[in-house]
A and B are shown apart, each in its own frame.
Chain A
């Protein structure tokens, strides 16, 4: 309790101390006067003998204080008083930092949610994901799913993994029931040990039992929390009951907790996967569809596992050169795999780097402001030092001021972060996986904001503080004019502002290139007419449509019915929708020497009905189109696109040539090229056209396909009649992704508008902050040079000369900064191309001069204001000031 009483009585102590000292001095003065001094002399003499009263009082007080904490508190109080005294400075500095901190913390909420995911289950960090490496893919090549034979091989290696599970993650199934609309759901077919590899247990019921992934025992399902809530109203008694799944009866074994999700990707239901003898045959190596999750055997490191997998892949290349040639294998930890697979890291990295730069600019601004202030306070500091304040103490005082500014900025920044995160949450809804992510102001973001505030306090105040405290007592007290002592500080400020402009220009160019790249993609011609097109996906199951004949009959009936709907002008079927990604296959050209495995031709392969090209408005340029006569009994034919001809038959006529496509699950056959069609984009986000081959549906029926309806009315208005028509033919068949083609393309573009919006916001913020920086610098130097300007005017300088002089100062800084930023930004297109997968085009040379012009105009504007102030200087007033 001693410290507490001490705290209370301290005020009294301090008063007593001051009293004692005053008494002391009064007694002494009285003595000295008695000895014949005048009062004035006596006062001087007494003070001289006593020493520095303030300092002594301070030292005496320190006896009662906890030295560091208390003087820190005093510093903070003092800093507050100082800052309140110059509100314009404070508001500018705090706002600048608040913006810088807010954009950083907001972006960090994405990092926290996407790149530092909290995964379910028992120590998920130790789950590993081995994958195949696809030699031909440009997108996520090293996270390719694994074929069943490779899974069996890896799982049997007990020295490598202690437990291995496999999952076919993205299956589509149907849930139906009497009186219910059939619903298509995404589900995962998994091995029985799937949940135990993750160390996860159901919230209700049980996980799969060993052996439930054997045919005959496999009619059990586990529901996701979301599906249980939505479709079954969180009914606990559903466990043990039967549900209608894929037209068959399955028993619900358990419900997983809501927390069991992997970065947004959560199947709605899990069913056991069953492997057949065919899955073990060498030919099954072509079907790479399994994601493998495993735990390493005791003592095995990730690196060892990696080299072991590479060895196995090499062996497979050797044993099955036809299929496995050039295919590799790799392994990642679960978090690494999910982040890679989610493919959001490049975008977040770029955004995070940009906001980091914005913060740097903000700090440079605040540092500049503090420097300018330090010049104004030169005398105050010199006086305080001559009164015995130590240098360390001065630096601490100035850093404290920076800290108070940064923390105030951090506080306001957090409030802005809250708003920013709300904005992000509202904007991040472009797909289910993204909107499921918990982007929020969590402890991680909070901690980050505090850390960023502290770092910016240091960044912005240490240099000015050290510089200011180095001021020498003599020169600063003697110097009557402020301008002379300000030169050194100004030089530092010029460097700061020049750096700001360099960074801002760099950011503007970078953002400009990225935005241009995104714009090009969003506005490129897709090569077909996508308006007034309705689409729906259908997957015909083996249970009701076991053979091609049944499937074809259903398709024929459905097409006929759909054409009856008013507003439908035509219908077509396609195995994959254009602009949404076509299947890729390898092929041979007849008459060409057998190509070696590593230089196989590849092409997109699409199965369509004859009307397809008319429906989507793609012209047949050469030869003929497909007809109803191209059926199973006729010679197999294909159409190819222009790009196919350019790549594989340059300068030659492809019509009549024969090719053979390597389609898994379909017997090899030679097909004749009968026509050439116009180019269309396989994927809306790809900038290039790729070679495409179109097969006739009647010659190669597929069970999973999309319908396309050309409409004369708003396509979405046909949704009910489309569903109704399908249900009349098969009431248990769900329709997938019932939406217009335009909506589908928008979904593909998912994050692009948000990405571009964020980039623009940050780049503009950087521009504004650096404009503020150069404005502050020039305005300040004009203020300092009032006298000089007054003299110039008095000596007959024209006002235009003065403003030209000021503008020149601004431009000198801007040009040097811009030149640096410009040069540093030159390699950006290459950098982006290497960081961002895909074929975005970032070479847009016009961005460079454009951004430079914008920058110089902004500099001109922010310099013009102080320049016009300068010309308004009244010589007589200016010369009298000081």
Chain B
């Protein structure tokens, strides 16, 4: 497996934002979350499964997530991660700022090459 750590994180908090958004859509256990991220990113992003866990712990500590016992697709008892109220609020704020950032980012990329009028 190729590992290029310098490409792994797009920007600080990107992984957390993706996790938050996924879990907001539906509470999941770790493996399901990893699969979900993998499939929807269509291998554009290389996410090492293990790296989810430190991120999950950070978010648990920040109070954006909580855990509860649930059942996996295979009917095993698993820990399900669910977004809290605080998490939801954080997600909204972050999405807003990310959108703004990307807008700015796009604009710079589009215009940076052009001659000024």
| A contact set with B: CB distance below 8 Å | 13, 16-17, 19-21, 23-28, 30, 48-53, 56-57, 59-64
Among A27, A28, A59, A62, the residue within 8 A (CB) of B76 is A27
Q: Return 25 A-B CB contacts under 8 Å, by A number.
A: A16-B67, A17-B53, A17-B57, A19-B79, A20-B56, A21-B30, A21-B53, A23-B30, A24-B34, A24-B49, A26-B76, A27-B31, A27-B32, A27-B76, A28-B31, A28-B49, A48-B1, A49-B48, A49-B49, A51-B50, A56-B54, A57-B53, A60-B53, A63-B58, A64-B57
User: Beyond A23-B72, A24-B31, A24-B49: 17 further Cβ-contacts under 8 Å?
Assistant: A13-B57, A17-B57, A21-B53, A24-B29, A24-B34, A27-B31, A28-B31, A49-B1, A49-B48, A49-B49, A50-B50, A51-B48, A52-B50, A53-B50, A59-B54, A63-B54, A63-B57
Once A23-B79, A26-B76, A63-B57 are accepted as A-B contacts, the answer to whether A51 and B51 lie under 8 Å apart by CB is yes
A-B contact count (CB 8 A): 74
Q: How far is the CB of B10 from chain A (nearest CB, A)?
A: 19
Closest to B53 in A: A60
Closest to B77 in A: A23
The answer to whether the Cβ of B107 comes within 8 Å of any Cβ in the partner chain is: no
B67 touches A24 (CB 8 A): no
Closest to B67 in A: A16
Q: For residue B57, which residues in chain A have a CB less than 8 angstroms away from its CB?
A: 13, 17, 60-61, 63-64
B79 touches A20 (CB 8 A): yes
Q: For residue A48, which residues in chain B have a CB less than 8 angstroms away from its CB?
A: 1
A61 to B53, CA, bound (A): 10
Q: For residue A51, which residues in chain B have a CB less than 8 angstroms away from its CB?
A: 48-51
A21 to B54, CA, bound (A): 11
A17 to B76, CA, bound (A): 17
B79 touches A16 (CB 8 A): yes
Among B32, B53, B73, B76, the residue within 8 A (CB) of A56 is B53
Q: For residue B32, which residues in chain A have a CB less than 8 angstroms away from its CB?
A: 27
B30 touches A24 (CB 8 A): yes
The 4 closest A-B pairs by CB, nearest first: A51-B50, A56-B50, A27-B31, A63-B57
Q: For residue B73, which residues in chain A have a CB less than 8 angstroms away from its CB?
A: 27
Q: For residue B29, which residues in chain A have a CB less than 8 angstroms away from its CB?
A: 20, 23-24, 27
What 1/0 mask marks residues of chain B from 15 to 59 whose CB sits below 8 Å from any chain A CB? 000000000000001111010000000000000111101101110
A63 to B49, CA, bound (A): 18
Closest to A53 in B: B50
Looking at B34, B48, B54, B67, the one whose CB has the most chain A CB atoms below 10 A away is: B54
Q: How far is the CB of B62 from chain A (nearest CB, A)?
A: 10
A64 to B59, CA, bound (A): 11
Q: For residue A57, which residues in chain B have a CB less than 8 angstroms away from its CB?
A: 53
Once A23-B78, A28-B31 are accepted as A-B contacts, the answer to whether A50 and B49 lie under 8 Å apart by CB is yes
Q: How far is the CB of B55 from chain A (nearest CB, A)?
A: 9
B61 touches A23 (CB 8 A): no
Q: How far is the CB of A33 from chain B (nearest CB, A)?
A: 11
Q: For residue A50, which residues in chain B have a CB less than 8 angstroms away from its CB?
A: 48-50
Closest to A21 in B: B53
Closest to B34 in A: A24
Q: For residue B114, which residues in chain A have a CB less than 8 angstroms away from its CB?
A: none
A23 touches B76 (CB 8 A): yes
Q: How far is the CB of B17 from chain A (nearest CB, A)?
A: 17
Q: How far is the CB of B100 from chain A (nearest CB, A)?
A: 28
Q: How far is the CB of B58 from chain A (nearest CB, A)?
A: 5
Q: For residue B56, which residues in chain A have a CB less than 8 angstroms away from its CB?
A: 20, 60
Once A16-B67, A56-B54, A64-B57 are accepted as A-B contacts, the answer to whether A27 and B72 lie under 8 Å apart by CB is yes
Q: For residue B2, which residues in chain A have a CB less than 8 angstroms away from its CB?
A: none
Q: How far is the CB of B57 from chain A (nearest CB, A)?
A: 4
Closest to B78 in A: A23
Closest to A48 in B: B1
Closest to A62 in B: B54
A23 touches B31 (CB 8 A): yes
Q: For residue B7, which residues in chain A have a CB less than 8 angstroms away from its CB?
A: none
A48 to B73, CA, bound (A): 23
Looking at B34, B57, B72, B79, the one whose CB has the most chain A CB atoms below 10 A away is: B57
Closest to A49 in B: B49
Q: For residue A26, which residues in chain B have a CB less than 8 angstroms away from its CB?
A: 76
A122 to B88, CA, bound (A): 68
The answer to whether the Cβ of B4 comes within 8 Å of any Cβ in the partner chain is: no
The answer to whether the Cβ of B74 comes within 8 Å of any Cβ in the partner chain is: yes
A20 touches B53 (CB 8 A): yes
Q: How far is the CB of A392 from chain B (nearest CB, A)?
A: 18
Q: For residue B74, which residues in chain A have a CB less than 8 angstroms away from its CB?
A: 27, 30
A335 to B74, CA, bound (A): 84
Q: For residue A23, which residues in chain B have a CB less than 8 angstroms away from its CB?
A: 29-31, 72, 76, 78-79
A113 to B106, CA, bound (A): 75
Once A21-B30, A24-B29 are accepted as A-B contacts, the answer to whether A64 and B61 lie under 8 Å apart by CB is yes
Q: How far is the CB of B103 from chain A (nearest CB, A)?
A: 32
Closest to A47 in B: B50
Q: How far is the CB of B53 from chain A (nearest CB, A)?
A: 5
A52 to B49, CA, bound (A): 10
A56 to B1, CA, bound (A): 17
A63 touches B31 (CB 8 A): no
Q: How far is the CB of A387 from chain B (nearest CB, A)?
A: 13
Q: How far is the CB of B3 from chain A (nearest CB, A)?
A: 9
> Which B residues, 48 to 105, have Cβ-Cβ distances below 8 Å to chain A?
48-51, 53-54, 56-58, 60-61, 67, 72-74, 76, 78-79
